[in-house]
Amino acid sequence: MIANSVYLASQSPRRGELLSQIGIHYERLSNKVCEKHLPDESPEQLVLRLAVSKAQAGWAHGKRQHFWPVIGSDTIVHIENTVFGKPDNNEEAKAMLRQLSGRSHQVKTAVAVVLGKRLLTKNSDSRVYFHTLSDDDINDYVESGESLDKAGAYGIQGMAGKFVERIEGSYSGIVGLPLDIVSGLVKEVLASSSQ
């Protein structure tokens, strides 16, 4: 049985909603992690480094009051080695969506769980296929304001769901927190800490 309580080192409302969906109580910890893509860093290395940094920053946070696991997670969208982070403005969001239009892209979400000296990590890899988007599709979506705080300039759980032809992989991983992985890692870290 997994823990009923964790710390979530993320301000993402979507990640909180996903934890609540599977009955996990969480408290948020703020974290300040530089999310800059390092030179020669692969998408896999980037997403894992950021998830681990967030979890470790959460564990080091002075406001923790309980011995609960800390979950850090990061999600990126990429095509080959081109990473699409969160757009800085509407024009950047439109440019990203034009590149994603009519083709497939990968969504990687890494999860890191810290409890004491124990650190466990795992990646979720999914593929998303977009329909061809018209200029009106892109403009209307970006004008909604939904694209600015999301990797790849879209949220599959929102209005951009209509852009998706199909997915291969974990829907919750694409949203930002693969629930099967979270459940398994939390269970494992708690079992190892009680031995």
Say whether 180 is catalytic: no
Of the residues 74, 125, 135, 136, only one is catalytic, namely 74
Structure tokens at 81: 């080695």
Among 156, 148, 146, CA closest to 109: 156
Residue with tokens 């890692």: 185
> How far from 20 is each of 15, 16, 97, 133, 159, CA to CA, in Å?
9, 6, 30, 33, 22
CA 108 to CA 81: how far, in whole Å?
Answer: 12
Q: Which residues are catalytic?
A: 74
